[in-house]
Amino acid sequence: MSGVLWRRRIEAAGLGGIHDKVLREERLSFDDGLQLYNTFDLNAVGYLANIVRERKNGNIAYWVRNQHINYTNVCNKGCLFCSFYAKPKDDPRAYVMTPEVAAQKVLNYGDAPISEIHVVGGVNPKLDYEYYLELLRAIKAARPEAHIKAFTMVEIDQIVRRSKKSPREVFLDLKAAGLDALPGGGAEVMSDRVHEDLFSTKPDAARWLELAREAHAVGLKSNATLLYGHVEQTPEKVEHFLKLRETQDDSLKNTAGGFLTFIPLSWHPEKTALEHLKPPTGVDDLREIAVSRLMLDNFPHIKSFWIMNSAPITQSALWFGADDVDGTIMEYEIIRDPSRDRKQVLTSRDLVEMILEAGREPVERDPLYNVLSRGLENVSDVEGVLSNERANLGHNAQNLDIMSRDEVTTAAQSLKYKVKPEWIQVETNIKQ
């Protein structure tokens, strides 16, 4: 479609003023964010987001050879939206990896040239401060050349409590033990209302942002996320972006750290207290990618996490603002695949071919976006073979195939008594 026709379409969608701001590289306002969510024409929003995406990253689409380790599923936070966690007491699904077991997980994939090890888990009140340091040391010793991206700000809050040190001292200790960067989860939606309703025992938005600033102050890079599609409302999502944008402004001005990537996370209701709600659609997923790219002008990268969005939606997202598809993963249980359960993997060949099919240029990165390879260099299918053989080695059998086992009631499902009556019809409210 020609530029003239796009301009007409954008004007018809009520986005002419936003289009002018995008072309002038001006910052969008709260009201602009609401308009991007409320306009009927998703393709017009995607067109605007793609302008910013290509301005920042050209035709490149990044991917990474990574491995996920969930070191414990024990968590005392009681989030209503999460199927991952097990209760601290008397839960047959519960597990805690020793540092040695986590290191063996790394060695299990020694035949794949993994450059990033992504480490997150539940908030387990029984783990002491030294455990986290030993976990990092063991993983780094098992694969010294790999970057470790570990611990959400929610986990960091717990680690700080156990350490009896300041956050800055803790971040320096973690860096010395092997931490290279931090992931972005845990803030969910930066809304006091949603925080109180769904995850009231987690740190609130102010604390999450405080810890992010402290991480950036010691030179660490981190990510940020938004979990959408449950009971949040559109103004709350726009406020979420503004809080992140303000924090990034401060970090870029005053520290050597900062946010690298924003990842909209598409919520999955299965086996949660809110499983009666409909999940986000592909249209929802693409809109979140596009709006985040337009609102977060100071974030270098926007990622479509294929685990949560699906590979096909992620291909489309590369034209709606995303420039990153994540990576090989190897195994994952924060959400489960109905047929493959924890064995969730795309091979390096899968990822590159997926990007090429979408019409973008595949570039392999490390966690800090240093370029490792381009195109089809050194791709293979070894990741799929290894995941199939080794993903579940030594894992708690009670925590396998939980989506297909009706007898399994997750910790979140046991909290359905906390569901508010108005949430039964929440789908009609959050699209306004």
What span, in angstroms and rounded, lies between the C-alpha atoms of 30 and 54? 23
pLDDT score at 423: 84
* pTM, full prediction: 0.96
- Name residue 64's beta-bridge partners: 327
Residue 85 identity (one-letter amino acid): Y
Does 8 map to a domain? no
For residue 116, give its domain range: 59-430
Number of domains in the chain: 1
- Which band of pLDDT confidence, cut at 50, 70 and 90, is reported for residue 93? very high
Q: Which of 56-60, 172-176, 186-190, 428-432 has the lowest mean pLDDT?
A: 428-432
Give the pLDDT mean for 167-190.
97
What span, in angstroms and rounded, lies between the C-alpha atoms of 420 and 432? 19
314: pLDDT strictly greater than 90: yes
Does 23 map to a domain? no
Does 21 map to a domain? no
What span, in angstroms and rounded, lies between the C-alpha atoms of 395 and 391? 8
Give the pLDDT mean for 208-237.
98
Does 339 map to a domain? yes
Q: Which of 231-245, 310-324, 337-351 has the lowest mean pLDDT?
A: 337-351
What span, in angstroms and rounded, lies between the C-alpha atoms of 153 and 194? 18
pLDDT score at 425: 57
Does 89 map to a domain? yes
The 10s digit of each residue's pLDDT in 233-292 is 999 999 999 999 999 999 999 999 999 999 999 999 999 999 999 999 999 999 999 999
Does 173 map to a domain? yes
CB atoms within 10 A of CB 295: 25
Structure tokens at 250: 């401060």
Q: The domain that contains 102 carries what CATH number?
A: 3.20.20.70
CB atoms within 10 A of CB 131: 18
Indicate the average pLDDT of the chain: 95
Asked if 313 and 286 touch (Cβ cutoff 8 Å), the reply is yes
160: pLDDT strictly greater than 50: yes
The SS3 assignment for 119 reads strand
What span, in angstroms and rounded, lies between the C-alpha atoms of 45 and 18? 10
Instruction: Give rounded-to-5 percent helix, strand, coil for the chain.
Output: 45, 15, 40
Does 154 map to a domain? yes
Give the pLDDT mean for 151-157.
98
- With pLDDT > 90 as the criterion, what percentage of the chain qualifies? 91
In the DSSP assignment, the letter for residue 375 is T
Does 15 map to a domain? no
431: pLDDT strictly greater than 50: no
